[in-house]
Structures are given as structure tokens and as C-alpha cells.
Structure 1
Amino acid sequence: MGKKKNKSKKRTRKQNKKQIKDNYSFKEMDMTFKGAHDFQQLYLLAKEFGLKEPKFEEAFQKFEESYNQYKVLKIIPDRFNHFFAKKGWIAFENLNFPLMEKCVKLAEQGNPIEAEDALIKYFTNRKQVNFLANRLMALKEFQPRRTLMLNALEDHFSGRYHASVPLFLMMIDGFVNDFEHIGFFAENVELTVWDTIAAHDSGLGAITKIFGESRKKTTDEEVNLPYRNGILHGRDLGYANVKVSSKALSTLLALRDWADAIKAGKKGIDKEFVPPSFEETMTQVASFLEQYQETQKQKEHMNNWVKRELTVGEDLSEKGEVSDYSENTPERALIEFHYYLVEKNYGKMAKKVSKHITKDKTVGKLAGELREIFIGKKLVDFKLVNVYDNAPAISEIEMLLEFEREEEHTTYEIIHKFRLSYEDENGETVARGYKEAEWRIMIRPIQELEYLHIRKGT
């Protein structure tokens, strides 16, 4: 009888276990959409009495479409973990949403193998992985592992899985240890963080138990999961395959979202959502509708954007004064940046660096880092080579730079491609021409300006 009661309690706990869709942020959004629906009904009633507001008309026209998209977005992470967590894949905030949606649909149709093939294809694509890897390597807590990460990625992309898998597992364990003072695979590690996708019970909380499973038998049979104990203790000898490497990499990349949540102070919080009052809801809905309209206007502006086709030497000078270049253009910003370097004005250089990348640093700290980097290196000359408008808020510019090693009185030339983003005062990217913003140089990380090649003391 007692055993039956215990089983019943376990089932109850399992049934009461919260899903990702129960996260605080989703509950908030649920309430916002409900409020918007109520607001829409009030507005339709008000129209009967002659009240008509154009901005609400436009917003409500697309309300149902947005709500349907949101309903799908809300359930996909839970469905993804349901099908794939036991196989070694978890949902996380920055994982490509269309990919997750596609994999869920394939699994629901009875094609889980095809779904896993899609995941492997994604995590062996350099461009897609590099985006996520750069986000991870930008964290100061991860930067000591940057060289190791680059080597592991090269091994992974080159099919040297015997090397990439142990490196990914080592970095997973060590990175978590830096935050928690206990490794990712430790038996009593607690990786669940409030109001997150990656650090949900069904995400990292589940995967650590699977990857940390005890492996006591030596076998050379191929395994499909990156069992930490079996691999690093030399028991699972058949680990060197693309599936195991991709799953280990995926988990490592998901840790960026986990780390962000911890740095945002979400660790240890257990805050339940309390529905706002009717007045608060209406205020939130009005704000939401205004923001929605603003977003739609910006999208329309981006859709109408036309890429500039520029030839250096014909459409613009390869070298000139700052005033020779059109105002509010990426080329003018970059030319100005290098004139500041000639003048050794590191404070003004720091103000031209992307806030999105270096938002955790003050201008003074950036100026000090720049000064340290350029000690012993004098910029003698520079000129534009090519200008590429890649997107409404992104441009890339190739420059030829000539430096002098001041101690040796010798010079060297390099060509470097700079990436610039159009950012507002908060460091958020904005489509050029949409509103007042500024072109800034994306240097990540600031202490590793790769185009210098030769550093102080070398």
C-alpha cells in the first residue's frame, strides 16, 4: 500500500513539473496578448460610437497573425526537449528557431532520424556555428579558453572528432566550474535558472545527467552520446563521430545563454507570475501596440533599403580628410577612427567602438586597452580598398594600413577588413537612415586586434 502511495506522489510531482511555456516571461506575454485582445474588443465597441485611431487599426490588422506565431514559439522549446533531450540535444535561447520547429515537425511525423540529420548539418556549418561560438568567446569568463575553442572547432569542422569531443567536454566542465565552483558533470550540480530556456529543468538540468552517466565497461562500439566519464576515462572508445561531437558542441554553445541568465541575477529566483490589474494591463497593451507599430515601420524601412554599389577611387576617395566623406557613412567613421589613431587619441577611438560588443566596459577602460595595444606601433598611412554594404545596419570595409615599429624604425603593410554596425545610444543596431544613430567599429575582443599581427614585445 505504501509503495502505491509513493508511486502516486512521484506521478503527481511529475505532472506538476513546470514546462518552459510556464516561464515567467511567457506568462507575461500571455497576459499582454490577452490584454491586447480585450483592448481590441473595447476599441471595436468604441468604433461604433465614432472613435477611430489609425495606429490601432494597423496594429490590430496583424494582431492575429502575431498571436498565432507566438503560440507556436511558446510550445516549440518544450516539444523540442521532449523529443530530443534524451538524444543529447536541448533547446536554448539563441538556437535557430526555424530549425527547432522543423525538427519538432519531423519528429511528430515519425522521422526523428531526419530531424537529427538536420541538427548535425546545422552544427557542422561553419557560418552558423561561428555566430554562436563568437557569442560564447566574447564572454570574459570564457576568453581564457578562446585558443582551445578555436582549435576544437577546427578539429570538429575537419572531422577530427577524436580531438574535438574531449576538448568540448573539458570546456563544458571548466566553464561551469568558473561560475559554480563545481563542474557541469558533478552529481550535485544545479544548472536550473529561473525564467530561462537553456537552463530549464528539461534542458541543461536533464542533459548533465545523461552526459554524466556512469560508464563502467570498456567498449569499442560506436556511441551516440558524449558520455563524459566513458570518454575521458577511456571506456567509451567509439566516441569519435560527428553525432557525438555535434551534441557536445551544442551543449557548450547553450552555456552562453545559461551564463547570461546567471549574470543577469536570475540564479536562485523563484518568482511566480502575478497577473497585473486591469489598468496596468491596458497600459502595457498600449505600450505594446506602439512598440509593435514602431517595429513594423522599421521592417518596412529595411525592406526598402537599397545597397550602395561603391568603387573606391571612383565613387569615393581612397584617402582624404574626414570631411571628404559623406556624413553618417561607415567609411567616414572608419577614416575618423584611424585619424584618431594617428593622433594617439585613444579616448575618441574608444567612443567609435561598438557598444553592442563592449557594453560592459567604460570608455576609459577601452581607451586604456587601445593605448596598450598600440604601444610601439605607429600608424604611418592608411587608405580604403573596398566598401561593402552587407545589410541595412552592417557594412564591411577593407583598408590598407602601414605601421612602423618605432623601436626598429621598420614598417609593414597589411590589409584588414573592418566590420561596422549602425547603432543607437544603447548599442542596438538600427537600419541606416531610420533614426539618428552612429556607425561604430565592431572589434571583438578589443584586446585581440587581429589586424596588428605584431604585438608589443614581439
Structure 2
Amino acid sequence: MADSPQVSPYGSARDLPSVQEMEQQLAAFKLLGILLPKEQRNKVKELEHEHRRITGLVDKFYGILGKRNWVFTGDLNLPAMEHVVDTDDAGTAETRLIGYYKEDSRIAFPLRRLHRFNAMRPRISLLQKALTDYEAGRYYSTVLVVLSVMDGFVNDLDTAARQGLHARPAEDMVAWDSVAGHHLGLSHAHQSFLKGFYKTDVTEVTELYRNGIMHGTLVNFDNEVVATKAWNRLFAVADWADSRERQAKPVEPTPTLREALRRWKDTQDQKTRIEEWQPYEYEPAPAAEPSEVAQTARDFLESWEKRRWGPVGAHFMELGSARSSVGKLAVLAKDLYGALELSEWTILRVRHVAAAVAHTDVELLVSGTKYRTDLRWVRVDHTGSTATEWESGHWALSQYGPSLFLKPETAVIEPDNDR
């Protein structure tokens, strides 16, 4: 990946190019006013309100927590962040933000999404161990691992001119068209990352002072603040990497007002269709043509039973547009399922729980133990993005690790008829 043109930090979330484009489109829609049906006029107002709510939230976050070197990242939950910054006290907001990161999946979910980077994939297992340590309160370990991963990841992003995160000046870390590019965002926090420390100091620190921590001069960093900032910084660096990739793409022509209106209408139609969608379920009939989800589940289970690892791995869900090779997925499938012998299986029911999510309730006989469990499928398009069931795409097994569905509580205890 070649170096992208350097950009200046954004004074406000409203200064982001995509946000300014949105504001121009909203202004154009408002000029059309009377030409739009009342329902669409109301939706334009809702969109404008939501737009202002989000940009205001980002700016408020930085106004309270930016000086403490927290970065607003794309994975943060907006309603939760509203609670975090519903105070004028930076200490209270920081405590709430740390509490947010300690909730279930707040780190695990964006951590899984890091698979989208080829340069990050060899480091995921280290990060998973760091998360285990973080949850167990071994903060010193978390900090050291996450710092090393960030350095290596940034170094591998551009193999033509390798340069780790620790070697990049703050002006290189402005994330283009990203909330992490705020003037109190990643580039601001990076200044503390680079600050030099040249003699041993036993004072407790609450900043992610990479230089002092990695060189052993700051020894009292074993606390939840520094460890949580390490995760926050990792996801901010991921946003920065995404922004470099977007910035390097050819500039698309600005859509005409007609095109903008059509795209907006398509988005509204999609939103309406999703809102009107209702969950449904059914039992696959033996004589009937199986549904797409049932057929996909059948292909996966047949491949597992016959130990055909390539087709098994082909069902695994991968996030992002990068695709693993057939051979790599086959190796992964064999590593996960090779010791598990599937000898019998039945698809009991298909449950569509969301427009892009379905579960197949199954009964499996695995290595002599019977399980009654479910397989979770998500519909994705060719880019790896979520797609609704009426859009082009395919169903992928989202939780493909067997330990996620072959749990002790799903095992079926057969009655002992000899007694």
C-alpha cells in the first residue's frame, strides 16, 4: 500500500469530506421541499436530525475525552457513547468508557473484524490471548502485546517502505475522512505514544506511553486505563488503515442531484423493507425442494461427514473483501473439525430471525455424542458485507468454530434402558 497524501486534522466531525457531502445533499433535498411527498420530507428531516446528532456526539466525545488521548472509533456504539459523555466531568466519562469496553463483545467483535487486514491476520491469535489477559486483569500483558501488534501491523501495511507505528510522526496518523482524524483524535494521541522517557520512573502512568513502556523506563503501567487505551488505540489504527485504503482509491465523480435522489430513495426503500420484515420459520419437508438456507446447511454437514475440508472451509464467514485461499480455508477446517467425526445429522428446523440472519436447528452425532444445537448463518455479498435475503449473496456460517455450537449444554443425554 503506497503512502497516501498527507491530510490535516479535522477541526470538527462536520469537516469530514463525507459529512460535508451529506450536508450538501440534505441542503439540495430541502430545496426540493414541496416537490417531495410528505413522507419523504419527514424522512429528510429525520436524516438531518440523525446527522447532527452523530456529528455532535463525536465532537462532544473529543471535547471531554480527547485531551486524555481517547479516540472515537468507527466500532463504538452510538447510544452507549451518548451515556459515556452525558457528563461534564472527564474522569466520570473515562470510567464509563472503560466500563463500556469491559462489557461482553465490546472488544471481541471489533477484534474479529480485524481479519479484514491481511497484515493483521498473523497477529489475531496474539490479540485473542491479550483479550483473555485483559478480562483476567493481567493488564501489563495486554499492554505489551497490543503495543507490539500495532507496531508490526503498521510496519506490514506498506511492504515497499516498512515503517512501524513507533517510527511514524504524528502528522502521518491523520485518518482521512474518519472520526479518528479529528484534531483531538489519533494524531493528537500519537504524540504521547512517541514521547521519550530516558530514566526509570515508578510513578503510575495512565497514558499509552509506548516509548517508556516498551523500553522499560516506565514500570508502573499495570492498570485498566492503560490497557483499555491500548485496545482503543488499536481500533483507531485500524480505522486509519481503512482510511488510507479509501483515500488511495480513484475519486468517484460527484453524483448529480437526480442520482443522489435515486440513491437516497433506494436507501429509504431498503430501510422500509427491513422494518416491515417479520421473522419466520419452517421445517424442511423431505419431498420438497430445500430452501437456500437448508441446502447450504446440508452441503456443510455432508462435507463435514465426508471429511472434505475444502468445501467445509468454503462455508466459513470472512469479514471484509479480502478472501482466504481455498487451501488456507481447507487447512483451517481440518484443524477445527479433523478430530470430530460426524456420523449422523438431521436438519430439524430453519429459523429466519433477521433479514440477513438464519439459524438451522440440527441434531448431530459427533464422535459418539449426540447434540441438539443450531448453526448460525449470515447472508453476505461478494464484498463480505451483510446482505438481506432478497439481495444477491450467499449464506455463510458465522460461528464456524465447533466449540461455539458443540457445547456441553447442547449434548443430549440418552436414557439408560438397561436399568
- Residues 385/207 of structure 1: CA separation in 2 closer, same or farther (3 Å cut): farther
Q: Is the 8 A contact 2:358 2:378 kept in 1?
A: yes
Decide whether aligned partners of structure 1 residues 268 and 395 sit closer, same or farther in structure 2, where only a CA change above 3 A counts.
Answer: closer
Shift of 1:32: 0.8
Matched, 1:327 2:287: no
Q: Distance in 1 between matches of 2:174 and 2:76?
A: 18
| Map 1:172-191 → 2, pairs under 5 A | 172-180=150-158, 181-186=162-167, 188=169, 190-191=172-173
2:396 matched residue in structure 1: 440
Match of 2:375 in 1: 418
CA distance in 2, matches of 1:306, 1:70: 30
Post-superposition offset of 1:443: 6.2
User: Given the alignment, which residue of 283, 306, 314 partners 2:279?
Assistant: 306
Identical columns (%): 23
Partner of 2:197: 215
Deviation track 1:183-230 (CA, whole Å, cap 9, x = no partner) reads 222253622242222245532211111122222343333221121122
1:394 aligns with 2:357: yes
- The residue correspondences of 1:58-137 to structure 2 (distance < 5 A) are 58-106=39-87, 110-137=88-115
Match of 1:28 in 2: 21
Deviations, residues 6-61 of structure 1 (Å, cap 9, x unaligned): xxxxxxxxx996444212111111111011111224x17xxxxxxxxxxx332112
Instruction: Give the superposition deviation at 1:307.
Output: 5.6
Aligned-partner Cα distance in 1 for 2:180–2:377:
30
1:331 Cα deviation from its structure 2 partner:
4.0
Give the 5 Å matches for 1:241-320.
Answer: 241-264=223-246, 266=247, 281-302=256-277, 305-306=278-279, 308=281
Q: What corresponds to 1:366 in structure 2? A: 326
Would you say the 8 A contact 2:133–2:141 is kept in 1? yes
Give the AA of the match of 1:95.
L
Separation in 2, partners of 1:267, 1:437: 27
The answer for the alignment partner of 1:52 in structure 2 is: none
Q: CA deviation at 1:143?
A: 1.6
Q: Is the 8 A contact 1:169 1:248 kept in 2?
A: yes
What are structure 1's unaligned runs of at least 5 residues? 1-14, 45-55, 404-410, 454-458
Contact kept in structure 1, 2:154 and 2:163, CA below 8 Å: yes
CA contact (8 A) 2:10 2:181 kept: no
Structure 2 residue matching 1:335: 3-state secondary structure: helix
Report the TM-score, using the length of structure 2 for normalisation.
Answer: 0.78
Which of 32, 37, 48 is matched with 2:30 structurally?
37
Q: Which range moved further: 381-390 or 249-258?
A: 381-390
Letter of the 2:395 counterpart: W
1:119 Cα deviation after fit: 0.6
- Structure 1 residue 301: Cα displacement: 2.0
User: How far apart are residue 127 of structure 1 and its match?
Assistant: 1.6
Q: What is aligned with 2:412? A: none
Show structure 2 runs of 5+ residues with no match.
1-7, 407-419
Alpha-carbon distance in 2 for matches of 1:255, 1:307? 40
In 2, Cα distance between the equivalents of 1:451 and 1:130?
Answer: 14
Would the aligned equivalents of 1:126 and 1:157 in 2 still touch at CA under 8 Å? no
The alpha carbon displacement at 1:367 in A equals: 6.5
Task: Quote how far apart the aligned CAs of 1:134 are.
Answer: 0.7
The secondary structure found in structure 1 opposite 2:74 is coil
CA shift for structure 1 position 168: 1.5
Distance 2:403 2:115 in 1: 15
CA deviation string 1:373-396 (max 9, x = no partner)? 449887543345887665442234
Rounded Cα–Cα distance in structure 2 between residues aligned with 1:361 and 1:417: 26
Structure-1 separation of matches of 2:399 and 2:82: 33
Q: Please give the alpha-carbon distance, in whole angstroms, between the structure 2 residues aligned to 1:369 and 1:105.
A: 45
Query: RMSD value over aligned CA atoms?
Result: 3.8
8 A contact 1:393–1:422 mirrored in 2: yes
- Number of aligned positions between the proteins: 391
- The equivalences for 1:4-19 within 5 A come to 18-19=11-12
Residue 78 of structure 1 and its aligned partner are, at CA, apart by: 3.2
The 8 Å contact of residues 162 and 240 in structure 1, kept in 2 or not, is answered as: yes
In the aligned structure 2, how far is the partner of 1:136 from the partner of 1:148? Answer: 12
For the structure 1 residues 254 and 423, does the alpha-carbon distance in structure 2 shift closer, same or farther, using more than 3 Å as the test? same
Mark the structure with the bigger radius of gyration: 1
SS for the counterpart of 1:146 is: helix
The one-letter amino acid paired with 2:396 is R
- Alpha-carbon separation, structure 2, partners of 1:68 and 1:23: 17
Q: Distance between the aligned counterparts of 2:59 and 2:248, measured in 1? A: 21
Task: Give the TM-score of the pair, scaled to structure 1.
Answer: 0.72
| Separation (CA, whole Å) in 2 of partners of 1:149 and 1:417 | 28
